[in-house]
Chains A and B, each alone.
Chain A
Amino acid sequence: MLLSLSWKNIWRKPSRSLVLIAAIAIGLAGGVFTIALADGMLKQRNEEVIKQQYSHLQLHHKEFYDNPKIKDSISNSTEVISYLLDREDIVALTSRIKFLGIANSSRSTQGLMINGINPEDEKKVTSVYECLIDSSSVYLSEQSQNEIIISTKIAQNLMLVFYQYNEKCKNELIEIKFDPAILEKLEPIIDILIRSKASFKDSLRTYLSSEEYEKYAEIITEQSSQYSLNKKIIIRFNDIDGNLVDEAFKVVGIYKTSDAMFDNMNVFVNKKYIAGLLNVPYNTSTEIAVITNDLKTAKKTTSEVKVKYKNLLVESYFDLDPMSVWQNEFITIFYNIIVAFILFALSFGIINTVLMSVMERTKELGMVMSIGMKKSKVFLMIMYESVMISLTGGVIGMLIGAFVSIYFGKNGIDISMYSDAMESFGMDTVMYPNLELDFFIGITILVVITGILSAVYPAKRALKLNPSEALRSDA
């Protein structure tokens, strides 16, 4: 009875209530979408770093992180691998030899983390083979000898990049609606190969005015850069006995992951081949990476493996990437703060509207009180009104927010305009919002609480009314 009375009260002035409901709906829809975006980004990053580098579970020698040496390999790796493969909760695994080395090209030098991988097993665990960027890049094969895959970043450091403004680059610029007048000006440098970035920019400077240069040089340079594949680099490292080994490798592939830090160091070679150079048996491993059924079960699996192999360092993704744990905790606090702020602002609107409707109904309230309606029921009625307004707005808002999030969750939001900064934090340039169900429950509770709190002041005003005086008032 009281509920339907309150509901009808809300619609006495439909436009006023609708405006408030709309305000709440928009506010919450925005909140839901923002949070879905943040959550989606985080989830995406987690998935990506798992796929690109961490896997769900990794095993190392206890002293691996202090100093990744070949001597500190996993001594019983064959046994460990067969034990892991027998476990039901493990989907795939691969073993690697990881060690430090130095790369030399004819122009530059760089320190590297060399990953000796089993090319086929690696495919099941990480996605490096999907990250090859140049169309002529090739992934390693089981028979690969001195072939190496390096990142775009390392290629730049070793100066295996050259710059050439050619037809292909021109067409790409036309495609992104580049000013044709500028392209006209670049005509003299077409097809000229330039080795260094600085001199390519110098040649741009001679043909463009300084304003044009400021504005377009970066993008033209980026479009014109090409990677030299099949070029030789010399890798230097110590074998198991500490002897210095120099070996020439041919760059067969160039990869790029979304984590710039990872790209800065890591190169991939065939494990069988590199084991020979290191003078160790081909089944030596310094790292075993595992994919479990589900990220959620990774923790449990980790602790079980840990018990079985006490001599090894067994880490789940959450240990390997402590940032992710911190981020997940932070984002939960972040959700609640955002929603609380939105609702706090909206609560003033609710107070105002409910208060207005109470003031308008002074005479009516006086009457119901004088015919014997209990004060607690009056209080409850006003509270129901407030809660129903906020809940209606809240539900509509959540629906809109969810709808928008799901839509973009499927189609993605391209933010490649700002991609450089995002990428260096290990994020993809297309964002997919993500929503968790339990988060709606949290919002609903917050909305109800807001409704209740907002009703307190207007309801108190209503209770203060003297029935006889209220009856005589004009409103």
Chain B
Amino acid sequence: MKKIVFTLMVLIFTSIFSFSQNADEIIKKAYEKTEGNSQYAEMTMQIVRPRWQKEISITFCSLGTDYSMVLITNPSKDKGQTYLMVEKEMWMWNPTISRIVKLGPSMMSQGWMNSDYSNEELLNGGSIIDDYDKKITGEETVSGKNCYVIELTPKTGTTIIWGKQILWITKDSNMILKTEYYDDDDFLVKTHIASDIKMMDGREIPTKFEIIPEDTPNNKTVVIMNNINFDIKVDKSFFNQQNMQKGMSLEFPK
């Protein structure tokens, strides 16, 4: 009898264990899918505010999670501005003042180009995997796709400001379709929505990303991916300050 109970316990525990392993896997795969090793992308960012609306065109190139370069190609007011992100640091080059400005810690949580994306988010998108405990809490359908609902709670001792995150990841293709960010009191702070799934450079990925903050109604930022190339040939040496200063004449490796 005792033996049976024991084996049952073992079975139950191992199944729980494998379930949580599963959540890890799913998230890892989902991130691999969007990030890839290196990429080149052309995007349009719409910043929607109650009184105005702005559209920015961006060319973007990255290597791993530590190196990226951003060039703004439109509107003419911001044209030629570049951003360089290397590891935990971020610089901006502005052609009108011809000067490189390092973004200090105080600017990291401000919105990038006044959008709802903070500089911080652009910089450390990848820390998610290690710093959270992950748990599959259910299954739901989001925009016609079957999804796992995965709850992420920050591990103690990490410097994550969220109380928790809830992710909806498609079962078949490991795409993150929706992310909800909650504060310590379990209030929703903002929602990330990914949609418009298309084939891009041989991969099926969402091409429209929306971020909707909860505290400020009628505000949102939409990013539309116009073109993306994965696994481009780019070297670390591309991400330097000389290249930043080329502005509009900077040639991205595609």
Which A residues are within 8 Å of any B CB, using their own CB?
102, 104-107, 109, 111, 159, 162, 193, 195-196, 198, 228, 231-234, 236-238, 244, 246-248
Check B189 against A247 for contact (C-beta < 8 Å): no
* Cβ-based interface call for B5 (8 A): no
Contacts of B158 in A (CB 8 A): 248
- With the chains together, A237 CA to B187 CA distance in Å? 27
- Flag if A107 contacts B183 (CB, 8 Å): yes
A-side contacts of B105, CB under 8 Å: 102, 236-238, 244
B106 and A111 contacting across the interface, CB-CB below 8 Å? yes
Contact A105 B183 (CB under 8 A): yes
Instruction: Tell which of B159, B160, B215 touches A195, judged by Cβ atoms closer than 8 Å.
Output: B215
Can you spell out 26 A-B residue pairs with CB atoms less than 8 angstroms apart?
A: A102-B105, A102-B109, A104-B161, A105-B161, A106-B162, A106-B181, A106-B182, A106-B183, A106-B189, A107-B183, A109-B109, A159-B215, A162-B185, A193-B185, A195-B187, A195-B214, A195-B215, A228-B185, A231-B184, A231-B185, A234-B159, A238-B105, A244-B88, A246-B159, A248-B157, A248-B158
- Would you call B110 an interface residue if the criterion is a C-beta within 8 Å of the partner chain's C-beta atoms? yes
Cβ contact within 8 Å between A248 and B159:
yes
Q: List 11 other contacts, CB 8 Å, given A107-B189, A246-B159.
A: A106-B181, A106-B184, A162-B187, A195-B214, A228-B185, A231-B185, A238-B105, A244-B88, A248-B157, A248-B158, A248-B160
Provide the bound-state CA to CA distance between A195 and B183, in Å.
10
Shortest Cβ distance from A203 into chain B, in angstroms? 14
Contacts of B88 in A (CB 8 A): 244
| B185 A109 Cβ-Cβ under 8 A | no
In angstroms, Cα B184 to Cα A159, docked, is 11
Residues in A whose Cβ lies below 8 Å from that of B161: 104-106, 232-234
Q: How far is the CA of A106 from the CA of B215 in the complex (A)?
A: 11
Closest 9 CB pairs of A and B: A106-B183, A109-B109, A246-B159, A231-B184, A106-B161, A195-B187, A234-B159, A248-B159, A236-B105
Give every chain B residue within 8 A of A244 (Cβ-Cβ).
88, 105
| Closest partner residue, chain B, to A247 (CB atom) | B159
Q: Give Cα distance in the complex from A36 to B159, angstroms.
A: 53
CB proximity of B23 to chain A, nearest CB, Å: 22
For A234, the chain B residues whose CB sits under 8 A away are 159-161
Find out whether the CB atom of B189 lies under 8 angstroms from the CB atom of A109: no
A198 to B213, CA, bound (A): 14
B95 within 8 A of A: no
Known: A107-B189, A111-B106, A247-B159. A196 touches B215 (CB 8 A): yes
Main secondary structure of the interface of B (DSSP, over half): loop
In residues 48-82 of chain B, which contact A (Cβ within 8 Å)? Answer: none
Specify which chain A residues have a CB less than 8 angstroms from the CB of B182 in the assembled complex: 106
A69–B78 Cα gap in the complex (Å)? 35
Q: Is A232's CB under 8 angstroms from B184's CB?
A: yes
- List A contacts of B109 (CB < 8 A): 102, 104, 109
Cα-based distance from A244 to B189 in the complex (angstroms): 26
Interface size, B (range): 20 to 34
Chain A residue, CB-CB nearest to B158: A248
Cβ distance B115 to chain A, nearest Cβ, rounded Å: 16
Within 8 A of A (CB), among B155-200: 157-163, 181-185, 187, 189
Nearest CB on A from B89, distance (A): 9
Which chain B positions have C-beta within 8 A of A238?
Answer: 105
Among B105, B106, B182, B187, find the residue whose CB has the most chain A CB atoms closer than 10 A. B105
CB-nearest residue of chain A to B118: A109
Chain B contacts for A196, CB-based, 8 A: 215
Q: Provided the pairs A231-B185, A236-B105, A244-B105 are in contact, do residues A107 and B159 lie with their beta carbons within 8 angstroms?
A: no
A236 CA to B104 CA in the complex, in Å? 11
Query: Looking at the complex, which one of A109, A159, A193, A195 makes contact with B110 (CB distance below 8 Å)?
Result: A109
CA distance A241 to B161 in the complex (A): 25
For residue A162, which residue of chain B has the nearest CB? B185
Shortest Cβ distance from A311 into chain B, in angstroms? 30
Contact B184 A107 (CB under 8 A): no
Query: What are the residues of chain B within 8 A of A102 when measuring CB–CB?
Result: 105-106, 109
Query: Closest Cβ of chain A: how far from B163's Cβ, in Å?
Result: 7
CA distance A439 to B162 in the complex (A): 60
Residues from chain B with Cβ under 8 Å of A193 in the complex: 185, 187
Query: Chain B's nearest CB lies how many Å from the CB of A114?
Result: 13
Q: Please measure, in the bound complex, the distance between the C-alpha atom of A228 and the C-alpha atom of B183, giving whole angstroms.
A: 11
Q: Assuming the A-B contacts A196-B215, A234-B159, A248-B159, are A109 and B184 also in contact, with contact meaning beta carbons closer than 8 angstroms in the complex?
A: no
| A106 B106 Cβ-Cβ under 8 A | no
Q: How far is the CA of A265 from the CA of B158 in the complex (A)?
A: 25
User: What CA separation (Å) do A193 and B184 show in the bound complex?
Assistant: 14
Q: Closest B-chain residue to A198, C-beta based? A: B215
Within 8 A of A (CB), among B19-44: none
Chain B residues whose CB sits within 8 angstroms of the CB of A236 once the complex forms? 105, 108
Chain A neighbourhood of B108, CB < 8 A: 236
Chain B residue at minimal CB-CB distance from A228 = B185
CA distance A102 to B103 in the complex (A): 14
Tell me the complex Cα distance, A223–B6, Å. 56
CA separation between A232 and B159, bound complex, in Å?
A: 9
Complex CA–CA separation, A198 to B50 (angstroms) = 16
Q: How far is the CA of A150 from the CA of B247 in the complex (A)?
A: 43
Q: Taking each of A193, A198, A228, A248, which has the highest tally of chain B beta carbons within 10 Å of its own beta carbon?
A: A248
Chain A proximity of B185: nearest CB distance (Å):
6
Please give me the residue from chain A that is nearest to B156 by CB atom.
A248
Interface centre among A106, A159, A246 (most CB of B within 10 A): A106
Chain A nearest CB from B86 CB (Å) reads 13
Docked CA distance A233–B163 (Å): 11
B213 to chain A, nearest CB (A): 9
Q: How far is the CA of A105 from the CA of B187 in the complex (A)?
A: 13
Give a binary string over B96-116; 1 marks a CB under 8 Å from any A CB, 0 the rest.
Answer: 000000000110111000000
Chain A hits for B160, CB < 8 A: 234, 248
Contact check, B215 vs A107: say whether CB atoms are below 8 A apart.
yes
> Considering only CB atoms, which chain A residue lies closest to B214 in the complex?
A195
Min Cβ gap A225→B in Å is 14
> Which chain B positions have C-beta within 8 A of A233?
161
* Residue among B108, B109, B157 having the largest count of chain A Cβ atoms under 10 Å: B109
